[in-house]
Amino acid sequence: MSESETVNENMLFGMGNPLLDISAVVDKDFLDKFGLKPNDQILAEDKHKALFDEIVKRTKVEYHAGGSTQNSVKIAQWMIQEPHKVATFFGCIGSDRFGEILKTKAEEAHVDAHYYEQNEEPTGTCAACITGDNRSLVANLAAANCYKKEKHLDLDSNWELVEKAKVYYIAGFFLTVSPESILKVAKHASDKNKLFCLNLSAPFISQFFKEPLMKVMPYVDILFGNETEAATFAKELGFETDDIAEIAKKTQNLPKVNTKRQRVVVFTQGKDDTVATVGERVTMFPVVDIDQNDIVDTNGAGDAFVGGFLSALVQEQALEECIRAGHYAANVIIRRVGCTFPDKPDYH
């Protein structure tokens, strides 16, 4: 860590869907039965109810604390190590066993989690259906979908934690839950010249939640996404190009409220180079080489990249350094099941 920047508690703020990941290796028949693509993220519908019953009966099923934003802030905290509770997390859970697991896991990760707890819906889950190095995610938001701005974010004790932060990160997934909460945080960041980061998260966000997405976009300082999400976003906005560098440039140039900061756009492409806007240029950053045989599970790779990136960003490091930290974290996570990590990073 650089000497220049001291890191304090609650400096990084995340808000999103806290989910318990139920992860299992499945076969193509399983995917076909539930109409799943090998590599995708979707919201559960009625036809997926049986999937959750079936996946827990698989031989090797694992339970991990998940939820895209929560994964990212945990990884940022893991990369930073000390002090604890640099990362704050808000989201909604149920008053149940899965909720208790999420609380315990957040504590173990030294994340300052403040959950809004309600008992109308159970804690949300995400079925991670693994085939080879693909993962198909089916999220049953349940409680996560019950987050209420006025019942949680607006409370003085909670809003004070928002004000303490200087970097904010919210996955696009939360646009389906509480766009008004996202806007309140985004406007605060913009007004105070702090950093607001958003993730495109999944193709369905650009397709079906384009309106709330574009309401938040003028406040976005750093936008993350992968190659598929970038292509879908470009299509929805009528960019008329499938060149990823061109898409990054056009996205950078979308309207922005805080003109003191030029928007940065970062698109990951799996094992291919990460694409990022650096000032007026678009630059390619190669990822760390990895042997196919060492890839256990790509679930959480994108979240890990963002987590590593945020850990360097909170320390006010240059974009190149943020991307390098992101690549390191993703490389660690894909060698393990779920979005899990060893005790300490081995990162310099």
Cα distances (angstroms) measured from residue 187 to each of 49, 201, 215, 222, 313: 38, 21, 11, 14, 20
From the list 139, 117, 118, the residue with the least C-alpha distance to 128 is 139
Question: Which residues are paired to 42 by β-bridges?
Answer: 138
Helices (H) and strands (E) in the chain, counts: 12, 14
Sequence-distant (6+) residues with CB within 8 A of 208 are none
Query: DSSP letter at 122?
Result: P
- 21 tagged catalytic: no
Phi, psi of 61, deg, nearest 5: -105, 140
Task: Look up residue 170 and give its two tokens.
Answer: 């919210």
CB 211 within 8 A of CB 218: no
Spatial neighbors of 236 by CB under 8 A, at least 6 apart, are 206, 207, 210
* Distance in angstroms (rounded) separating the CA atoms of residues 326 and 169: 14
Contacts of 32 (CB under 8 A, 6+ apart): none
What is the C-alpha to C-alpha distance for residues 127 and 104, in angstroms, rounded to an integer?
20
Q: Single out the catalytic residue among 27, 242, 303, 343.
A: 303
Indicate which residues carry an active-site annotation: 303
